C-alpha cells in the first residue's frame, strides 16, 4: 500500500487534488487545506487563516496525519 492509499484509507477528509484536501467545518461548511511543498507550509481558505495565518482545520489535518501515519 502506498502513502496516498494509506491517507485515503485513514483520513477523515476528501483529497481534491495532489496536496489539497476538503475538510469539514462547522455549520455544514467545507474548507480547502493546501500543502505548499516549496514553502513547506499549509494554507486554508477559511476566515481564521485569512486573518491569523493559522486555523483549526490545518491543526486537525496535521494531527490526523501524524496519528495515522505513526500507527
pLDDT, tens only, 14-57: 666 788 888 888 888 899 999 998 989 999 999 999 999 999 99
Alpha-carbon span 36 to 29, nearest angstrom: 23
Q: At 71, is the pLDDT very low, low, confident or very high (cuts 50, 70, 90)?
A: low
Residue 4 pLDDT greater than 70, yes or no: no
* pTM given for the model: 0.71
Q: Is 48 or 11 the better-scoring residue by pLDDT?
A: 48
pLDDT at 3: 63
Alpha helices in 1-71 (DSSP H): 3-10, 47-52, 56-69
pLDDT at 70: 72
Residue 11 domain boundaries: 3-69
- How many folded domains does the chain comprise? 1
Amino acid at each position: 500500500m502506498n502513502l496516498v492509499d494509506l491517507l485515503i484509507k485513514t483520513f477523515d477528509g476528501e483529497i481534491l487534488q495532489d496536496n489539497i484536501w476538503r475538510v469539514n467545518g462547522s455549520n455544514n461548511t467545507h474548507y480547502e487545506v493546501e500543502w505548499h511543498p516549496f514553502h513547506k507550509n499549509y494554507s486554508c481558505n477559511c476566515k481564521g487563516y485569512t486573518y491569523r495565518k493559522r486555523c483549526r482545520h490545518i491543526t486537525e489535518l496535521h494531527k490526523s496525519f501524524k496519528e495515522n501515519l505513526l500507527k
